[in-house]
Structure 1
């Protein structure tokens, strides 16, 4: 590898250079020790097999490079007094971040039993990737972290989310060259087009090219430097290169590169904030090339390890059984000269600690990586200002998300000065009927503006890009650093972030178990343009399965709401935006739908999560129902009420109960979800022995899965989406999936004892209506008048 390129703007003194190198050596020693050792942490005696962990887990290859970056960030933070948080993108770099946190003392402050001495070092080593210990990657347990290292692709999006509305914050982001190959990371480079140099902080990407992934070389590491420069400049960055394998020369070069990068950042922010510059800055990016597994074993069993993919995980695997490997391990660990780095009690020597900043400026102690310490209550407007009047159920119609838009606009106005609330979405804010927010703020935009453009603003707080990954990543970074937000998305395409929400749910579940992690604002999804009203876009836009995916996850963290009208949507939104440490999914329509409940009724119904709508049923005088019509979702609710109306007309003696479910987790047993019902409650609502016809917004088997333990589950028949989609009329969508009002009435006839014969004519009339519908839409292209003009006549 070529020697490091020198940057002449920074001249380190010999003492500074020696101190930086000592810190780096100490971090490397601690990183390797975590992977291998469970005893003899200071090598006070000859290394023996019993000192080695029985299972060697962890990742060495990326650790020396991360340690190098951490060491040098310490220097510039201390020298400049700048609040900084670092996103450690290389997935399993846990050993290095833990090592540095222990060296700076923040780990011991967080976990007092892991003391900064020999006993604490042994505990630090033993707990790593060990039963009852800590994960091998950067995780919620790691002080100073907001980024789960178990999945690649999202580091840079998280970094930009952390920088938004944090004008004094520097967010360093180490991007591994494996991660750089992912689609979300490749798109994340465009985030600089939305970064406001006046109100936002700065992001400093550090592209760490050590040449290899798990078993293959990486693309960016093999590009000629000129081609890589063209790529990064095309993204709007100015690259600064550091490369080499001589530690002292690399230290000098990286120190100069960081100073050069921060000087550029300071100039750009000063120009925007003090001089009124409006041109988009070309932000710096550092390209750092160091060998994979640097300072580790050069060769093992005759094969090169350092500088190759073989150093990715555990360079020496058979240490307990192979005496030669044990000898090499001891030689490797002693090469760091631990006696020079730690005193006889295992405490880091003064020279090792000289570069470390103090207090909250330490990367492991920054409150920006524990956002619950910074989060403030949102100033929430009263719902009455936005509620729609409902004197009679089903007499009027509104677009629920449009009504919600006025509510969100007011939150935007109330946070105009404090700037801690954002709306993100993939180019759909207006489409999803939330356009009222533009009365309070524009869309973030730092690129060219044309006269035909609307709502673009250099200081806007609506974030739009056609990448659900980036929307999710930005919002996660924003929430984890102490702010609030809402993610609005077409329902079908929320699946794009399935794996991202997995990681965030795991993060929240783990952080809830850590007393030092303060609760953060919840991650709130508004899924609209949903399956039943994507009749114009067709099958590709019809998928309600995100709810299924989320409800598979940790029940203490996830919540799913299906408000049936505008007022219930307002009530649910008010609740979730106040909440902490949840992932909330709201599914609500943007098309006109009937108003069923007044604001007061909506509040009560949402608090229950599920309840009987007495006005819609025909239970009289305390009589038990003959059948229960249940519904969850706006379109299912309309079809159930239409079916209830048909039954009222055709079978007036039938006792029908209508149950609406908003909080879908209410169907689960209380033992499995905090919102679940007891068997007593469930049986009281749905009965133990009467047929239940359930019209559900999504895939019908979810309802069966949630309720399978209930005594009356064998009586539950669910109608929902069955993968029957196309470009068609709205009502044909429900007919195609057998969730229409006529099919529901047929289900009642089929399942209520005695009706099969007595109501055969009614069933036949319903079947004929479905046939008539089929012919009508093909002749006229719209739904039948009896459907299109239907209103609740109860």
Structure 2
């Protein structure tokens, strides 16, 4: 076994060679740490297999074994060894450290270790450190009404649902931004390392400022196999792997072996070396007061056998060190030999040496763990709501668009929001608890006002023509939606606040990450000791209706459907129709807790419909009648809309209808909070039946212009009284590179189509339908001829202005 594979000229080479030969653990410390490791392994195996007889007081029988064997063993012994070694350095160095465990299938190990350190029992008093508590600990694992097999929200000390498809390293870096005293030990599984999200996450070190941020210690855990195949990074050779990791900007330190005593010593020495290096990097940056060249941060590559210390052979087939150790190495207990093997495996950890007669972990081993909040299972950074401080927010009314009449002024909604976010940044600069995240689109999305108070975080090389780059920047831009989302999640989960700005079509890249975070929030709502965190806020802009220049590849509003399918107590969707409504919605979302808020707003100058006071009232209600655009009394038709461009087209359709049919009675209803459309029984924002019917009537036609796919409105309203009269126009996957108005024409969302829809559905106007249909097609033909000839929309479309 050797440690490190550095180039001979590297200044760290000498230190690494010492690490390879040092044995920093005394014989007594080695004995106790190995005992702690064996105890964690014993508890891990017990969780997977046993429903009773936790101390093996009687010979193991089939009645003691769970009927359904669920869980994963393969990665667990390596994680258990890392945990006890991290405990040692936390105690000796008084570190503020949390662990993020990428291999999701190490759940039993993290539960075991938090149980051994006492933090588990503090959160779950029924799982006391005794024989009875151990029995309940084992039985609850992967058991109905119990706990999941992953490192989940139920696990104290976790901010990361293990097995999340490659997000561990992004979460780790997000956790240490603006957290100068925190170190995150991030274990990256070698299967996880094959994902695109994880491969990108290595580049997070180009954004980490050692003067003001904490540190991430990546630990690449190579046990060689995924579920049924070898892993790439375990099969490319030491030199190639070293070159890869050095190319990412890290200094890899290798710990390899299968003899526990040797691995203990080498891992202890290596941890001392890398933590000394981290301390030196931070000290240099913080003492000098300025950051020089980007440091090469250390990391560890831990190579141990998959399923280490487990059965070596089962049914004549090798298990330890193979893919067969991944999940449950011994199954099918109809075979008496399997029961004998399981008992021998459990007894190989010598539990009677580790636990006293009452089932309590013996003090000589238990004393190795940190105490209080230094225990990784009790660190408050892993329960970020305990640390969260509210944002200092400016009065959003100060940024309002001022107008004399509805629609008289045009404003770019996101540019207006940019001024507000600039001052949010400024007000919270000292607290360092707010960041803006986005994939190279902050300026594109018209939020560049934030650069007036902060730059873009950047620790890589700079050139003379670069703009707004800063090692102290608090805007996080990297062309990876995965990385932006992962950073933000880690930042939120450790008690801070943020906003993710993204092109609407490409937010789908993080669909699975949104899923996991929404599930995390759902579960934590039922865990009393998990404190609420700041909401995950999305601002989706450069949206489908104003991506006419980029074409179909940039046109997709379907994230709304994805979000709306989740639990109602977690998700919120907002479609502000103008700049003032966007200000009101954004302020509300930044103040909220434990939600995923999705805001969709355009970046192009559009009509501003409401004064700021009217906008606040409208957004608070979530939907309402625009009286100034509506006729008194019972309407012939309800013209409803949700989204900025659908609102524009609806208002233009209203004007057309009044020109076509002077005695028509129209009610205009605008929806900001999409979830008000659901019944109250389905969503807490839902309008009750009387309120909904008061807006949309019980029997009149409703022409609903919607930002996204029409089916979503039907899904939300199908139980409403007047649903059979609701006719929805929205996006139907007809897009190309064309003019803004032609985009809505292609999807039948244009003002002419909406006006014709209304006439078709008002019974007293049916005799006019042939003439109005002819007029519609003449207008569409005129439009098409003009845009293909001139490359721009008709003047009356381009220069349209609302009038009553």
TM-score normalised according to structure 1 size:
0.99
Q: Does 1:449 align with 2:462?
A: yes
Q: CA deviation at 1:152?
A: 2.1
**In 1: Cα distance, 2:770 partner to 2:324 partner:** 74
- Identify the range of structure 1 (149-158 vs 558-567) with the bigger mean alpha-carbon deviation: 149-158
Match of 1:108 in 2: 121
Match of 1:306 in 2: 320
Match of 1:640 in 2: 650
Q: Does 1:543 align with 2:585?
A: no
Q: CA deviation at 1:759?
A: 5.2
Match of 1:688 in 2: 698
Match of 1:587 in 2: 600
- What are the ranges of 5 or more consecutive residues in structure 1 without an aligned counterpart? none
The 5-angstrom pairing of residues 277-288 of structure 1 reads 277-288=291-302
- Identify the range of structure 1 (367-376 vs 748-757) with the bigger mean alpha-carbon deviation: 748-757
CA contact (8 A) 2:163 2:192 kept: no
CA contact (8 A) 1:10 1:259 kept: no
1:77-115 per-position Cα deviation (integer Å, ceiling 9, x unaligned): 000001001100002111000000000000000000100
CA contact (8 A) 2:98 2:379 kept: yes
1:264-293 per-position Cα deviation (integer Å, ceiling 9, x unaligned): 000000111102341111000100000000
CA contact (8 A) 1:74 1:356 kept: yes
Q: Does 1:784 align with 2:797?
A: no
Q: CA deviation at 1:4?
A: 8.0
**In 1: Cα distance, 2:326 partner to 2:165 partner:** 15
Which of 303, 311, 319 is the matching residue for 1:289? 303
1:607-650 per-position Cα deviation (integer Å, ceiling 9, x unaligned): 00000001112x22xx2111000000000000000000111122
Q: CA deviation at 1:10?
A: 5.4
**In 1: Cα distance, 2:800 partner to 2:363 partner:** 80
Q: What secondary structure is seen at the aligned counterpart in 2 of 1:285?
A: strand
- What are the ranges of 5 or more consecutive residues in structure 2 without an aligned counterpart? 5-18
Match of 1:369 in 2: 382
Q: Does 1:669 align with 2:679?
A: yes
CA contact (8 A) 1:89 1:174 kept: yes
CA contact (8 A) 1:3 1:249 kept: no
**In 1: Cα distance, 2:167 partner to 2:328 partner:** 25
CA contact (8 A) 2:408 2:608 kept: yes
Match of 1:566 in 2: 579
1:574-594 per-position Cα deviation (integer Å, ceiling 9, x unaligned): 000000000000000000010
Q: CA deviation at 1:8?
A: 3.7
Q: Does 1:715 align with 2:740?
A: no
Q: Does 1:698 align with 2:698?
A: no
Q: Does 1:652 align with 2:665?
A: no
Match of 1:128 in 2: 141
**In 2: Cα distance, 1:293 partner to 1:758 partner:** 78
Q: Does 1:50 align with 2:63?
A: yes
Q: Does 1:728 align with 2:738?
A: yes
1:444-472 per-position Cα deviation (integer Å, ceiling 9, x unaligned): 00011111000000011100111000000
Q: CA deviation at 1:683?
A: 1.1
Tell me how large the CA RMSD over aligned residues is.
1.0
- Identify the range of structure 1 (88-97 vs 752-761) with the bigger mean alpha-carbon deviation: 752-761
**In 1: Cα distance, 2:684 partner to 2:337 partner:** 55
Match of 2:30 in 1: 17
Match of 1:469 in 2: 482
Q: What secondary structure is seen at the aligned counterpart in 1 of 2:110?
A: helix
CA contact (8 A) 1:38 1:126 kept: yes
**In 2: Cα distance, 1:279 partner to 1:611 partner:** 56
**In 1: Cα distance, 2:459 partner to 2:22 partner:** 30
**In 2: Cα distance, 1:194 partner to 1:781 partner:** 43
**In 2: Cα distance, 1:504 partner to 1:636 partner:** 30
- Identify the range of structure 1 (27-36 vs 642-651) with the bigger mean alpha-carbon deviation: 642-651
Q: CA deviation at 1:711?
A: 1.5
Match of 1:265 in 2: 278
Match of 1:89 in 2: 102
Q: CA deviation at 1:3?
A: 8.1
**In 1: Cα distance, 2:179 partner to 2:266 partner:** 29
Match of 1:600 in 2: 613
Match of 2:12 in 1: none
CA contact (8 A) 2:211 2:291 kept: no
Match of 1:188 in 2: 201
Q: CA deviation at 1:20?
A: 0.7
Q: CA deviation at 1:263?
A: 0.4
CA contact (8 A) 1:3 1:244 kept: no
Match of 1:613 in 2: 626
Q: What secondary structure is seen at the aligned counterpart in 2 of 1:392?
A: coil
Q: Which runs of 4+ in 1 moved over 6 A?
A: none
**In 1: Cα distance, 2:23 partner to 2:207 partner:** 31
Match of 2:402 in 1: 389
Q: CA deviation at 1:761?
A: 2.9
**In 2: Cα distance, 1:351 partner to 1:323 partner:** 37
Which of 3, 17, 27 is the matching residue for 2:40? 27
CA contact (8 A) 2:2 2:255 kept: no
**In 2: Cα distance, 1:156 partner to 1:580 partner:** 24
**In 2: Cα distance, 1:266 partner to 1:565 partner:** 50
**In 2: Cα distance, 1:678 partner to 1:28 partner:** 54
Q: What secondary structure is seen at the aligned counterpart in 2 of 1:93?
A: helix
- Count matched residues: 789
